[in-house]
Amino acid sequence: MTGSLDGKIAVITGGCSGIGLGTVELFIAEGAKVVVADMQDDKGAMLEARFGDALRYVHCDVTQEAHIAKVMATAAEAFGGLDILFNNAGAGGASNGVEDMTAEAWDSVMNLLVRAVVLGMKRAVPFMRARGGGAIVNTASIAGLQAGWGPLAYSTAKSAVIHLTKCSAAELSPQNIRVNAICPGLIATSIFGTAMGLPREVSDQMAAQIASVAGDFQPVPKGGMPEDIAKACLFLASDASAFITGTHLVVDGGITMGGRHAWDKTSPSPLLTALGISPEQAEQMRLAMASQ
C-alpha cells in the first residue's frame, strides 16, 4: 500500500507514543501530512524535528473542546484541510468497580474516552465536508466486547465507542464521511502501567514485558505491537476500505475467539472438566468412535 495516503491530511490524537506513534510513523511513510495532538510536549518537539514539514504538533487535552478545535484548525492552516481523523488518545482510567465507583472517577473516564471522541468528530466534520468527505477511525477495545479485559468504566466507555461509531457512520454517510473503529487486544504499550499509576519509565518497561509474553495467551503466537494497529488504521483510513463504514475491526491475535481450549489442544475443555473427563479419556473416546 505504498503511497496510499499521498495528498491526505490526518489528525492523530495521542500520537506521541504507543499506538498513536506507530500510526504517525506509518501514515507519514504512506505520504500523509499529520497533525499530532498530545500532551507530551517534549516528545511532540522531537517528532517535529524528526519529520519536518510533514508533521505539526499541537498540545491538546482532548477533554477540552477548545483544544480539539485548535488541532483541527492547525490541520487546515498548516496543510490545507483534513481528510482523516484517528481518535486514539486514551488511558486506562479509574479501576473502581460498581460498589466503590465515584461520580468523579466515572465522569473522568467517560470524558476522556467517549466525549472526546464525539467532540473530535464534531470539530473534524466541517473540514472533511469542505474536502468532499473523509475517514474517521476510533480506538475502541476488546474490553468493549467482552467482560474481563479492562476496568468497569474503561470497558463501558469502549463499548460506547463501538456503538457511537455505528451511529455516527449512519449520520455522516450523506457527507461521504466514513466512520469505523478498531478493537485492539493485548498490545505492547505503556497504557497498562500508566493505568496502575506507575511512572512512564516503568510503564514502558511493562510494555516490553507484555510483548514478550502476550503470544502465549492467544492463537497468534506473537505479541501485539503498535504497528499491528497502525496497519489496521491505515486500511480503514485509506481508499482501500472505501466500501466499509459503521463497523469495528478486531485486531487481537484471536484472543477473543473463544476459550483457550478452542485453539490449544493441551488445554482441557471446561465442559469435559465439569463432566469429570480428563483430556486423555476424551482422546481415548475420540479414537474409539473413529474406529467404529
What are the start-end ranges of the E strands in 88-140? 134-139
Cα separation of 85 and 141, whole Å? Answer: 18
Cα separation of 61 and 97, whole Å? Answer: 26
**CA end-to-end span of the chain:** 53
Q: Which three cell numbers stand for residue 26?
A: 506509518
Tell me which of 154, 182, 191, 210 is the catalytic residue: 154
| CA angle 228–233–239, rounded 5-degree value | 130
Which SS3 state, helix, strand or coil, does residue 57 take?
strand
Residues 6+ apart with CB under 8 A from 282: 269, 272
Q: Report helix angle 226-237 to 18-29, nearest 10.
A: 50
Is 154 a known active-site residue?
Answer: yes
Instruction: Provide the annotated active-site residues.
Output: 154
